[in-house]
Amino acid sequence: MALATVLLGVVSLAFAAALVAGFAGLAAFFGWPMVVAPVGAAVVLLGFGALELTQGARVVREADAYEVDAETAPRLHRVVRSVAQQADLPMPAIAVSDDDAPEAFVTGYTAGGATLVVSPGMLRALDDAELRAVVAHELAHVKNRDVALMTAISVPTAVASRLHELSSATSERLTSGSGGAVRGRGLVFVVAFLSAIVALVAGLFSFVGRSLIASFSRVRELAADRGAVAITGDPASLASALASIETELGKHPVEDLRSAQSVAAFTVVSPEQVEPDDPIMLGAEGDQPATLTYYSDRYEAFVYRTFLRTHPSVSDRVSRLQQAEREVQSQ
């Protein structure tokens, strides 16, 4: 993790330098004073960084979560209160999302401002001991301040990702001839070319940054598993819960899993780890796989598994928890 942190710092500094250089190039091209370069870069970083600070609230909104209490969700409230007391943490706000896929995640940058979101699918899939283990995992994230930590280290990469999206869209719009009255003017092609360069550079920084952040996230997930065991003393229930969640995710339609992608990096088991069972089939008899789609999906899955996975595999986590259970039993 130390190496990933150092590399992420280097990539972030390199991106900031590239951003300053980009504004310096614009200043030279348009004859603006060079002070525009550091000021422009700072405005972009701070502006997009401020947007990242609203990410937690946005994720809760996208999950269609609503707050519950002891009367509206007695079982969940009872478990959360018990685990919070055992973890020596303030009682978090509790919300239930409108999602049948099993998910649970926390938002909030401080222990006092944390919100735990749990889906009805999670409540149905787990027994009380498993639910307690999952809640302990999420509150371990709170105790470790993982939301604040991950948000802080993600800001430069998030800026790069947003610049990549905006620049790609700008370049595509201008080169497609939808620029309207200014179509054909030299300035349009200059802007389109510069946008393409920005998109390329920002995309490179975004991919490298996301890969390093994913590596960091996998380490924090394992730390939260250990934290849950420290809170509950019950690694077997967490192992059972992870296996149950993975099984339940595999039963849900692809559309349901896609709706959960917005919270994939936050939830206890990422729906991105679950692949649909049925490939796309073509032909008169429906017995010929769609070759291009098949290899495209395989390539995307390879890139995700190799570079962008935010969670360790469930099998790896279960294996570690089973080892912890054996250690508990031997004491």
CA angle 238, 239, 240 (to 5 degrees): 90
How would DSSP label each residue in 308-322?
Answer: I-SS--HHHHHHHHH
Distance separating alpha carbons of residues 109 and 99, to the nearest angstrom: 24
- Of all helices (H) and strands (E), which one includes residue 288? strand 288-289
Q: Estimate the share of the chain in helix, then strand, then coil, as percent rounded to the nearest 5.
A: 70, 5, 25
Q: Is the dihedral of CA 309, 312, 313, 314 positive or negative?
A: negative
Cβ proximity of 133 and 228 under 8 Å: yes
Tokens of 63: 């999950």
Distance separating alpha carbons of residues 3 and 12, to the nearest angstrom: 14
How would DSSP label each residue in 87-143?
Answer: TT-PPPEEEE-S-SS--EEEE-SSGGG-EEEE-HHHHHH--HHHHHHHHHHHHHHHH
| The pairing of beta strand 93-96 with beta strand 115-118 | parallel
Residues labelled as active-site residues: 138
In Å, the largest CA–CA distance within the chain is 78
Q: Which of 267, 229, 227, 230 is nearest to 245 (CA)?
A: 267
**Sheet with strand 93-96: strands edge to edge:** 66-68, 93-96, 115-118, 104-107
Query: 117 φ, ψ to 5°?
Result: -110, 130
